[in-house]
Structure 1
């Protein structure tokens, strides 16, 4: 009789352990998919453990109070979330009674964290040695607690760019632009470099350097952006063709209204397939229209109210500098938590974007036999893209914190653009003045357009030689 009882006990125990060993444990969370939580706040993640073979395990009559099962949560990166305890202990009896337990956590850094849940201890299975995966499909998104500063930056930044684009358009002399476009080798060379080479180059860079799809999208958006007014300033400093630079800036700003949506719709959506985020293309188009139409308004002001345009010319350079400082300072304060996550790959990406722009711009310009001043203009115009436009487009197109994550490569490139140019300009000035390695000419004398271009402009109706070089005179005059 005792043998039969022992045999029955062994069979029941074997049945229970066999049911558990054959993948009989499952985990449920009361939050599924993507769970968005505010920063710096404690949150409870509720878990429930269960047996697939509940009747076999729970109803066979043995004592289940001592048997322990331990669930461990593992974030994809430990620093992203702070858990009070990463382990949750269940007794087999609690599992049978479907008792819920919680994990307490908080998030400091904005971003998305994937959680993996493992069964790391199981007393019901005497052969249990390795952790068993329960599920890995829960995403925790830590977002800003307040959007006040973010909205302030987007609103003010958009208004500043709108006003500056109107003012930039007011400084464009249609006759000068027409003189450049009559032989459009320079603008075409710049257009190809800016809207064919740079988007492709940044797409490849993002694929090689970043694993995060949002960071790849941010770098790619910058690569699709038009030239900025800072390129005009640095073209002036390095004795480039300022008229070509301004013309290319105007053309690229208007062309971006079509080229940016084209590139982002072709390749941008593929970057976000894994993140399950869709680019709102209508928001993208609306934001680009709102940033490029002011150029046309400025040209109309130039034709109808030239005195207004002359007054605006006096503040164009300092106002452009203020916009760069605004995005640099306010953007850094607004996105400081994201900047803290900046890695060496982002720094390398910033350097590579600038280097590719300088190299490919200069190479294409040299290939089509442009002169030295034009090569300088095309090279700088290709490298110094409008980070402000890219930043605003990302912020207006994606919700937080996805827009913050996508803007990190843009901020990194902005950090890497200024210091190298300042250093290069100091070396250029030193070599020109001390060593005679560069032409020792005063800046205003090196900037007017080529003599033949000026002669052609003299014959344009209602034009004078002074008008032909007024953009160069304005930008080179230190009093302005």
Structure 2
């Protein structure tokens, strides 16, 4: 007997009755089969949906209640109007369930979810399934259709990257590398800023600019861990930097990338992969690093056995580097024009911030460590200019669609924004720098004339 005068079994029966009544009233469920769907852009597919355990009181009011299918992001995927609403008239009143096929159409790259809600038109409210399960929502992934031109693009990149690293191997000057031991300050500053500073900066910027978009964080991070770009040598020459230091830093940075890219990817990069829900592609990253070792060794062999061919390859180093960067960026834009639909103010800010802050921090570090103006400028250029071609190559070869397609927009943005500060410096020097030099020369000549007159 309970303290309130009722036998214990009566209380148990009452609680069980209430529980069953509550479940039958409020425990409707939704099940998608399958629970995940992969679509191509501008294509659709069918999935099975089962709605069950709908309350009898709800089924008795078909004019008041209805089920509706909604996409979290209708720009990516949607359910057409004829499938979007499910009337209670189609339900089996005995089993209180309904099973049928729905159509989902893919529109643009990305990932979204399709949800089922029970709408109350009288109260103008809606509710998600009360009894939630892993298949209560439909995970939809939309990717680009596979095209022959994509294979051509990837094959061309691999060929050009191999040629670039053969040229690097042929251009490696062991005597100059030995000089690092005697005068290592400048190259060491650039090396630390490039392989430590830029990855940390890209990670921090990614988290700050894209707090809710880990895929974009990944794109910026892969750009930050890429080595110096070949265009840095050209800009160093144009802006009056130390071209020998520039070539040396570019070479060392690209050779070190065999170790630094995998190292950063499996350490700090792993945090981004986890946030993005993507597995770290250890195998693909390892194969990338090892696949470029062979061209580098081949270049060293050419340098040793065929010096005349090596000299030709060295001459090709700059134009090949510039061509690779331009080819990858231009071809990526033309082949994937959808990238411009992904451009947002965050993408633009990220594209400007990574190289811009890289220039500033590296220049300040070089000046604080007493480097001359030419060397400080060169270190800044080498740090700020990333090989965005390698970043795009890494993203397209290590990630699956649509992640690879979406993240590519970040290195493209960086590539577009990187030259702007340098171009500004160049125009300033051309327009006002020469004028100041002329004025200084005129002042000096006038001073000499006056001094001559006095004497």
- TM (norm. structure 1) is 0.79
Per-residue deviation at 1:344?
0.8
Matches within 5 A, 1:47-86: 47-51=49-53, 57=56, 64=60, 66=62, 69-85=65-81, 86=84
Whether the 8 Å CA contact 2:165–2:295 is kept in 1: the answer is yes
Does the C-alpha gap of structure 1 residues 63 and 201 become closer, same or farther in structure 2, counting only changes over 3 Å? Answer: closer
Q: How many residues align?
A: 416
Per-residue deviation at 1:434?
2.8
Q: Which residue of 2 aligns with 1:27?
A: 30
Superimposed CA distance per residue, residues 98-149 of structure 1 (whole angstroms, 9 cap, x where no aligned partner): 4323433322211111333321238xxx8x6531122664321111222422
Is there any run of 5+ residues in structure 2 with no aligned partner, and where?
A: 1-17, 442-455
CA distance in 2: counterparts of 1:270 and 1:118, whole angstroms: 34
Matches within 5 A, 1:224-303: 224-303=225-304
Does the C-alpha gap of structure 1 residues 293 and 353 become closer, same or farther in structure 2, counting only changes over 3 Å? Answer: farther
CA distance in 2: counterparts of 1:389 and 1:410, whole angstroms: 9
Q: Which residue of 1 aligns with 2:167?
A: 167
Superimposed CA distance per residue, residues 312-353 of structure 1 (whole angstroms, 9 cap, x where no aligned partner): 244333322221221122111232224312211011001100
Q: Which residue of 2 aligns with 1:37?
A: 39
Superimposed CA distance per residue, residues 229-251 of structure 1 (whole angstroms, 9 cap, x where no aligned partner): 11111111111111111111111
CA distance in 1: counterparts of 2:30 and 2:439, whole angstroms: 72
Q: Which residue of 2 aligns with 1:348?
A: 349
Does the C-alpha gap of structure 1 residues 118 and 253 become closer, same or farther in structure 2, counting only changes over 3 Å? Answer: same
> Is it true that 1:148 corresponds to 2:144 in the alignment?
no
Cα RMSD, aligned residues only: 2.9
Q: Which residue of 2 aligns with 1:204?
A: 204
Superimposed CA distance per residue, residues 9-39 of structure 1 (whole angstroms, 9 cap, x where no aligned partner): xxxxxx9x9647852211111121x321122
Q: What SS is found at the alignment partner of 1:28?
A: strand
Per-residue deviation at 1:52?
6.4
Does the C-alpha gap of structure 1 residues 46 and 437 become closer, same or farther in structure 2, counting only changes over 3 Å? Answer: farther
CA distance in 2: counterparts of 1:47 and 1:334, whole angstroms: 37
Per-residue deviation at 1:181?
4.0
Superimposed CA distance per residue, residues 237-281 of structure 1 (whole angstroms, 9 cap, x where no aligned partner): 111111111111111112112112221111222223244310111
> Is it true that 1:186 corresponds to 2:186 in the alignment?
yes
Superimposed CA distance per residue, residues 269-325 of structure 1 (whole angstroms, 9 cap, x where no aligned partner): 222324431011121021123235433432332232221122224433332222122
CA distance in 2: counterparts of 1:172 and 1:376, whole angstroms: 23
Superimposed CA distance per residue, residues 444-471 of structure 1 (whole angstroms, 9 cap, x where no aligned partner): xxxxxxxxxxxxxxxxxxxxxxxxxxxx
CA distance in 1: counterparts of 2:62 and 2:139, whole angstroms: 33
CA distance in 2: counterparts of 1:279 and 1:439, whole angstroms: 58
CA distance in 2: counterparts of 1:318 and 1:359, whole angstroms: 27
Whether the 8 Å CA contact 1:288–1:393 is kept in 2: the answer is no
CA distance in 2: counterparts of 1:229 and 1:277, whole angstroms: 31
Q: Which residue of 1 aligns with 2:220?
A: 219
Does the C-alpha gap of structure 1 residues 290 and 410 become closer, same or farther in structure 2, counting only changes over 3 Å? Answer: same
Whether the 8 Å CA contact 1:71–1:121 is kept in 2: the answer is no
- TM (norm. structure 2) is 0.83
Whether the 8 Å CA contact 2:114–2:139 is kept in 1: the answer is yes
Is there any run of 5+ residues in structure 1 with no aligned partner, and where?
A: 1-14, 441-480
> Is it true that 1:90 corresponds to 2:92 in the alignment?
no
CA distance in 1: counterparts of 2:440 and 2:242, whole angstroms: 15
CA distance in 2: counterparts of 1:293 and 1:436, whole angstroms: 49
CA distance in 1: counterparts of 2:356 and 2:107, whole angstroms: 35
Superimposed CA distance per residue, residues 410-429 of structure 1 (whole angstroms, 9 cap, x where no aligned partner): 11111111344333322222
Does the C-alpha gap of structure 1 residues 381 and 280 become closer, same or farther in structure 2, counting only changes over 3 Å? Answer: same
Q: Which residue of 2 aligns with 1:405?
A: 406
Whether the 8 Å CA contact 1:68–1:90 is kept in 2: the answer is no
Whether the 8 Å CA contact 2:230–2:322 is kept in 1: the answer is no
Does the C-alpha gap of structure 1 residues 120 and 65 become closer, same or farther in structure 2, counting only changes over 3 Å? Answer: closer
Superimposed CA distance per residue, residues 339-390 of structure 1 (whole angstroms, 9 cap, x where no aligned partner): 3122110110011001111011112211211111111111001000111111
Per-residue deviation at 1:163?
0.2
Whether the 8 Å CA contact 2:242–2:374 is kept in 1: the answer is yes
Q: What SS is found at the alignment partner of 1:273?
A: helix
Q: What SS is found at the alignment partner of 1:272?
A: helix
> Is it true that 1:133 corresponds to 2:133 in the alignment?
no
Select between 213-222 and 328-337 the one with higher mean Cα deviation: 328-337
